[in-house]
């Protein structure tokens, strides 16, 4: 499944973050949200929009 609704990913076992057709980050929501990588950056931007 592909989604841009990041909140929907909270219960997933594994999340793959892709850029230019390549997996650049993978893990669970809790791990990725604090790792400081691309996923955490997306979450931060999302929270700024709210």
Higher pLDDT, 3 or 37: 37
- Where are the domains positioned within the chain? 6-49
Asked if the model's pLDDT at residue 49 lies above 80, the reply is no
**pLDDT given at position 2:** 79
Tell me which residue of 20, 19, 25, 49 sits closest to 39, measured CA to CA.
25
Q: What is the pLDDT of residues 6-42, one digit of tens each?
A: 888 888 899 999 999 999 999 999 999 999 999 999 9
**pLDDT given at position 47:** 78
How many whole angstroms separate alpha carbon 45 and alpha carbon 48?
A: 5
pTM of the shown model: 0.77
How many whole angstroms separate alpha carbon 12 and alpha carbon 28?
A: 7
């Amino acid at each position: 499944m592909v989604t841009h609704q990041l909140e929907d990913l909270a219960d997933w076992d594994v999340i793959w973050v892709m850029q230019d057709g390549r997996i650049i980050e993978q893990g669970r929501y809790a791990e990725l949200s604090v790792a400081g990588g691309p996923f955490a950056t997306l979450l931060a931007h999302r929270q700024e929009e709210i």
